[in-house]
């Protein structure tokens, strides 16, 4: 069995780490390079860095922030936000990212997934999907532009299509659970995990170590992404990994 991964997330806005609840009420949570270095030393398996304002503001990726983070960590770095072309992908990788996260532009231009996979390899492509629960569309609706624009895409259908186009991994964020610390959407995570053959990163709602254990086991996620509980030092990654290991979950 592959090791389960623990991934802190750095949501960026105006060059700072921010965190809110259900994508609103953003609060400052520190300098991205300093936070990334702390998590690397704590035993994080990867870092995900997402510029949450880029798509809404119609601009490209903030390469300097990616460079600063890459200079401080020696674990895999996934970067996203504002990537709309193969050249943006190339620039992001040259800035120090190991993988890119495609979200809004993947929906608007699905060919970008295919082009990125063909040019840089499927291992480089993470398709991020923001979703809400609701009637119709299989139970969950996909949103774009930092969670501000609803689509007519269902979560599971879009996940399957993204994988067919070349996504090597999927990052699922429950907008209903984001920042609430009430636990992940286990049903949605499991539904996607059972529908696609690629690894799933679960995001949105982590509040306790039990929540993380649940999404890795019951939700069948391959990795758990969290922000609030790590940013505000409510849970140490080293303690979390010890807890998971005691429960028979393979961790690094």
* 15 within 8 A of 49, measured Cβ to Cβ: no
Place of tokens 């105006």: 14
CA distances from 85 to 57, 105, 108, 109 (A): 16, 9, 12, 9
CA nearest 9: which of 147, 168, 172, 163? 172
CA distances from 114 to 85, 122, 136, 231 (A): 11, 9, 28, 34
170: which 2 tokens? 């999927």
CA nearest 156: which of 136, 177, 183? 136
CA distances from 189 to 66, 95, 193 (A): 28, 31, 6
Element (H, E) at 200: strand 200-203
- Catalytic residue set: 11, 130
Q: What's the CA gap between 149 and 112, in Å, rounded?
A: 20
The strand pair at 223-226 and 149-154 is best described as unpaired
Q: What's the CA gap between 184 and 174, in Å, rounded?
A: 7
């Amino acid at each position: 069995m592959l090791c389960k991964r623990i991934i802190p997330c750095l949501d960026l806005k105006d060059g700072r780490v921010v965190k809110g609840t259900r994508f609103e009420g953003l609060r400052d949570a520190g300098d991205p390079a300093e936070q990334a270095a702390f998590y690397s030393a704590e035993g994080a398996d990867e870092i995900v860095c997402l510029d949450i304002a880029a798509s809404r503001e119609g601009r490209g990726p903030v390469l300097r922030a990616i460079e600063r983070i890459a200079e401080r960590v020696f674990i895999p770095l996934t970067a996203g936000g504002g990537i709309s072309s193969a050249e943006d992908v190339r620039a992001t990788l040259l800035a120090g990212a190991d993988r890119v996260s495609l979200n809004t532009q993947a929906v608007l231009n699905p060919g970008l997934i295919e082009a990125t996979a063909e040019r840089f390899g499927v291992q480089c492509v993470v398709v991020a999907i923001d979703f809400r629960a609701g009637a119709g569309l299989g139970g969950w609706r996909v949103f774009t532009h930092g969670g501000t624009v609803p689509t007519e895409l269902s979560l599971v259908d879009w996940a399957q299509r993204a994988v067919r186009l070349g996504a090597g991994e999927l990052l699922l964020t429950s907008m209903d659970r984001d920042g609430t610390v009430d636990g992940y959407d286990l049903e949605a995570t499991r539904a996607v995990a059972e529908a696609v053959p690629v690894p799933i990163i679960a995001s949105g709602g982590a509040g306790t170590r039990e929540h993380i254990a649940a999404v890795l086991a019951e939700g069948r996620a391959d990795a758990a992404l969290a922000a609030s509980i790590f940013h505000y030092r409510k849970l140490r990654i080293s303690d979390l990994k010890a807890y998971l290991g005691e429960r028979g979950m393979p961790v690094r």
